[in-house]
Amino acid sequence: MHENRVVITGLGIISSVGNDVATFWQALKEGKSGVGPLTTFDASKFDSRVAGEVKGFNPALGDIDFKEARRTARFVQYALVAAKQAIVSSGLDLDKGNKERFGVLIGSGIGSLHTIEEEHKIFLTKGPSRLSPFLIPMLIVNEASGLVAIKYGFKGPNSCVATACASGSHAIGDAFRIIERGDADVMITGGTESCIVATSLGGFCALKALSKKNDFPQKASRPFDKERDGFVMAEGCGLVVLESLEHAKKRNAPIIAEIIGFGMTCDAYHITAPDPEGEGAGRAMKLALADARLNPEDVDYINAHGTSTKLNDKIETFSMKRAFGAHAKKVMVSSTKSMIGHALGAAGGMEFVVCCLSIRDGIVHPTINYEHPDPECDLDYVPNVSRKAEVKVCMSNSLGFGGHNASLIVKKFDK
């Protein structure tokens, strides 16, 4: 039984194509790629040497001073800056309101591998007495939620989701439920990730999951294209302010869209490979539609998980056909990862921001690098060029290692 309606009033973003919402959205509309040669370490010995790195990031924009930045993991810094963006854009007056009913729920798939790498070197060369006292606080995934709450004094529900590439979407879905059932008025939610380090790159290379198109970095991520050969590692953060409609109306908040549906399932099939029939992902979409009380025909746009791997794109296409039937051929589908790469636990948060912007502006960004049609991926992927279209309802999908599936539905706000 739905209780409180839940609306989106603020957005924040850190990405490989821009570190604020306006820059990010303009780049996506223009089909610009943020993927390039990996620069943060020597990747010459790796099979994959490209990434969607965040560029020109300034922690001070999140009120993080130099001393604080040294003891705060980068994925947490991203969350602090994106949270400030989202709060400012929402118009929340933090001197008013009951902060016991303001919460934070931010997902991250991995946390700070960089901290583990650096501190392990110190351990091996200088011994345990030289380890940083900030080692544990810097590496654990819940620190993004914790430090955002500390920064703003939010004393309501506070949690963290770690479901691999579905983390950001699960976080938003869980925050939606918290407000819907009346346990909070406001939630800062989404996903953050920064783990482009040698260990993770090597691990994903060992899985044969990454693109080897090193000579053409901006062409490496090509979801649903027949020549796709793996995903591109990326980093970033996407956060939103969710509010109960009642709370938003009381303060005349700028309502961007309304979240109305959430579905989550497990493939229960394999630790990395998706169910070959797409049953789990398709069922998550059906559950989200049922939760939103919508028919498949009501959905205008699907922001796909669309990783650019051989298996994922084919099986996600199967799952969309399972959930949407004949309408699957008519609904617009695009992959943000074609431009920004795959930011793992942050991806769902970033893509949910995209859905809100598509509804706000009536634009669906393209799936770039779609050059060779794949007969097994035969939907309308909005190839290469943005499309102006009224978007009343859109779905955002995330599928994570371990068989985790999440589908969110957001719609144009109607009084």
Q: pTM to 2 decimals?
A: 0.97
Residue 177 exposed, middle or buried by CB count within 10 Å (0-12, 13-18, 19+): middle
CATH of domain 263-411: 3.40.47.10
Phi/psi region, residue 182 (left: phi>0; alpha: psi -120 to 50; beta: rest), is: left
Residue-wise pLDDT for 122-159, tens only, equals 999 999 999 999 889 888 999 999 999 999 999 999 99
Residue 133's CB is within 10 A of a number of other CB atoms, namely 8
305 noted as active-site residue: yes
Of the residues 160, 165, 195, 356, only one is catalytic, namely 165
7-250 and 263-411 agree in CATH topology: yes
Tens of pLDDT, residues 358-397 = 999 999 999 999 999 999 999 999 999 999 999 999 999 9
Domain layout of the chain by residue ranges: 7-250, 263-411
Q: Name the catalytic one among 114, 170, 247, 342.
A: 342
Q: Please tell me which residue in 114, 247, 305, 365 is annotated as part of the active site.
A: 305
Pick the more confident residue, 119 or 264: 264
Active site residue 195: no
40 Cα distance to chain centroid: 22
Helix (H, G, I), strand (E, B) or coil at 72: coil
Give the rounded distance of the alpha carbon of 36 from its chain centre. Answer: 20
Which residues make beta-bridge pairs with 244?
Answer: 6
Residue 378 Rama label (left phi>0; alpha psi -120 to 50; beta): alpha
Q: What is the pLDDT of residues 48-101, one digit of tens each?
A: 999 999 999 999 988 888 888 889 999 999 999 999 999 999 999 998 889 999
- Architecture of the 7-250 domain: 3-Layer(aba) Sandwich (3.40)
The neighbour count for residue 30, using CB atoms within 10 Å, is 14
